[in-house]
Amino acid sequence: MLEISTQPAATNERVKPLARKSTQAVMPSHLPRKTANEDGYNIYPVHSLGSGKIKSGYASLAAWIASQPAVIIDGFSGVLWDEVQRCLEEAFEKEGVKAGWMKAADYLKDEKDVLDLVEPFLGERDAVWGTRTTLELKDFFRVDSLKAVQEIEGVHCTILIGTGASLVDWDVPVIYLDVPKNEIQYRMRAGSITNLGRRTADESAQMYKQAYFVDWVVLNKYKASIQKRITIQGDVQWEGDINWMFRKDLEDGLRHLSTTVLRVRPWFEPGAWGGQWMKERIEGLNKEAVNYAWSFELIVPENGIVFESDGYLLEVPFDLLMLEDNQKILGKHAAFFRNEFPIRFDFLDTWEGGNLSIQCHPSLGYIRKHFGEHITQDETYYILDCKPGAQVYLGFQEGINPDEFRKELEISKAEKKPVEMETFVQAHTAQKHDLFLIPNGTVHSAGANNLVLEISATPYIFTFKMYDWLRMDLNGQPRAINIEHAFNNLRFERQGKRVAEELISHPQLLEQAADCDIWHLPTHAEHLYDVHRLEFDKIIDVDTAESCHVLMLVEGVSVLVEVGGETHRFQYAETFVIPAAAGRYRLINEGPARAKVVKAFIKDAIDHIFF
Q: Is residue 366 part of a domain?
A: no
- Angle between helix axes 81-95 and 58-65 (nearest 10 degrees) is 70
- CB under 8 A, 24+ apart: contacts of 114-119: 114/140, 114/196, 114/197, 114/198, 115/197, 117/197, 118/196, 118/197, 118/210, 118/214
Q: Is residue 154 part of a domain?
A: yes
Strands (E), 468-512: 508-512
Please give the pLDDT value at position 609.
86
Domain count, the chain: 2
> In sequence order, what are the beta bridge partners of 141?
108
Domain finish residue from 203, 220, 241? 241
Q: What is the pTM of this model?
A: 0.95
Interatomic CA distance for residues 224 and 320, integer angstroms:
8
The domain in which residue 593 lies consists of: 508-610
Q: Is residue 421 part of a domain?
A: no
Please give the pLDDT value at position 342.
98
Domain finish residue from 210, 241, 272? 241
B/e letters for 327-341, b = 16+ CB within 10 Å, e = fewer, are bbbbbebbebbeebb
Q: Give 576-601 pLDDT, tens digit per residue.
A: 999 999 999 999 999 999 999 999 99
Q: Is residue 433 part of a domain?
A: no
Please give the pLDDT value at position 608.
83
C-alpha atoms less than 13 angstroms from C-alpha of 176 in its C-beta half-sphere: 25
First and final C-alpha spacing in the chain: 24
Q: Is residue 573 part of a domain?
A: yes
DSSP-H helix ranges across 363-519 = 364-371, 402-415, 483-487, 497-502
Please give the pLDDT value at position 9.
36
Dihedral (CA of 534, 538, 544, 550) sign: positive
Q: Which is it for strands 230-235 and 174-178: parallel, antiparallel or unpaired?
A: parallel
pLDDT along the chain (611 residues), means of 10: 38 53 94 64 97 98 97 97 98 96 98 97 92 98 96 96 97 98 97 96 96 98 97 97 98 98 98 97 96 97 97 98 96 96 98 98 98 97 98 98 98 97 98 98 98 98 98 91 97 98 98 96 98 98 98 98 96 98 98 98 89 73
Q: Is residue 379 part of a domain?
A: no
The CATH number of the domain holding residue 589 is 2.60.120.10
Q: Give 451-496 pLDDT, tens digit per residue.
A: 999 999 999 999 999 999 999 999 898 899 999 999 999 999 999 9
What is each CA distance from 251 to 227, 306, 326, 340, in whole angstroms?
10, 13, 13, 19
Q: Is residue 448 part of a domain?
A: no
Please give the pLDDT value at position 611.
73
Domain finish residue from 192, 220, 241? 241
Q: Is residue 592 part of a domain?
A: yes
The CATH number of the domain holding residue 220 is 3.40.50
